[in-house]
Amino acid sequence: MSVLVVGLSHRSAPVEVLERASVSSQDVPKLLDELTRSGRVGEAVVLSTCNRVEVYAVVEAFHGGLADVSGVLARHTGMDVGSLSSYLYVHYAASAVEHLFSVAAGLDSMVIGEAQILGQLRTAYNTAIEADTVGRAMHELAQQALRVGKRSQSETGIDGAGASVVSEALADAASALDGLAGRRALVVGAGSMGGLAGAQLRRAGIGGLVLANRTPERAARLAATLTADGLPSRAVGLDQVPAELALADVLVSCTGAVGTVLSADMVAEALGTRDGRPLVICDLGLPRDVDTAVAELPGVTVIDLASLNERLADRIEGDTVRAARRIVADEVAHYLSAQRSAEVTPTVTALRRRAAEVVDAELLRMSGRLPDLDPQIRNELAHTVRRVVDKLLHTPTVRVKQLAEAPGGDTYAEALRELFELDPQAPAAVAAARAPAAESTGLVDGITLDQIPQDGVR
């Protein structure tokens, strides 16, 4: 059994395709059920965020698992497999582990280091547990990924990158408005990015803040926190955004919703009541929250996430990211080493079982030939033979476990199975070959998804 990742993200697909592929929290259990129903996907987790949809699956055969997962994703998006495949990337075995750990560490996010992904990954894992699509393999992998994400944040501080994006956006807003002190702000979205925006607006001396969210209660909790910190804040529902937009000087939108939150018509209507006051809109949502046509309206300055990321890329890609990448590399090596060691254990168990069977058969034969042998001598001979066999097997079985931890170490277990004629169909024989780690380029052993022969699916 090996791990397979099939997905699409902001790196491989346009916003329109991501919006079609997005899976709501209510639909995830249904998708998990469909994935595991075919029999070729043993375990599965679906990670669906505003900028990625990924299926993590445990499969027995690469082509069969890929066909099933791709088919389910295609049906979900309403696209045929051929059309969808140009946006998909695939990782298998070691490469799949490396990809998941990089995602958990925030290295594959549009905003490098954004902290939300770890919570989203935990939610995806818990949902799969409730849907009964997580077994031992996926449990161990997911738990390790969560630990990698926590370690990356605590040891490198990479999760501070999200704050850099908000700071840069508000710096641009301050420049466009000749300062933010005393201005009025509207933040749409009460998640972690909304909290960052509120905290930094407070430090910038904003005069008042309105928080709008699909769930007003969540916005109210954040507003209460900010008010306690000295920033007059209040909460409203999304239906009140048009009215609040007419009063605000700067708007920060970071909902992560699928679809437009601020339409051009909504903003144009608000502009009619502002007496020509300029409006700065910081669109930090992915997919974008703000209609692209808004940037063409007079008196409106739009600061979007794509332009901010281009500007921040060189600054973020420094010692912090390099340290996080080293953590991921170390954790991948440790995980794969442990897996290879675990995979050889059934072979060692089978070998010891075979030796015990041979000893028992010979002792039984001796009893037949020497029926009158003294029981005390008989027991001593049995103990002696078993001790000799144990000592003979001890060094090779310990050594084969050590050797199995290195890349290619499964060949030693294979040699044991061949030399001692162990059952190739028994659990002892199951040791899937591990592919070398690859870059996140949508390649599987150098083959793009659309080059994989369909007649090779099994």
The residues assigned a catalytic role are 50
Instruction: Say if residue 50 is exposed, middle or buried (CB neighbours under 10 Å; 0-12, 13-18, 19+).
Output: buried
Evaluate the CA torsion angle 345, 347, 351, 357 in order and state its sign.
positive
| C-alpha of 354 from chain center | 42
Nearest partner of 288 among 324, 318, 326, 257, judged by Cα: 257
Distances (CA, A) of 18 to 32, 80, 183, 288, 292: 19, 15, 35, 11, 17
CA atoms of 192 and 269, how far apart (whole Å): 30
Instruction: Return all residues near 436 (Cβ < 8 A) that are at least 6 apart.
Output: 94, 95, 407
Nearest residue to 442 via CA among 100, 121, 142, 92: 92
d(CA 129, CA 131): 5
Considering just the CA atoms, what is the radius of gyration of the chain in Å? Answer: 29
| H-helix segments, 105-254 | 116-130, 136-156, 161-177, 192-203, 216-228, 241-245
Which residues fall within 8 angstroms of residue 71, CB to CB, at 6 or more apart? 81
- Give the C-alpha separation, 142 to 245, whole Å: 42
Distances (CA, A) of 180 to 133, 157, 171, 309: 50, 28, 9, 22
Torsion on CA atoms 408, 410, 413, 419, rounded to nearest 10: -60
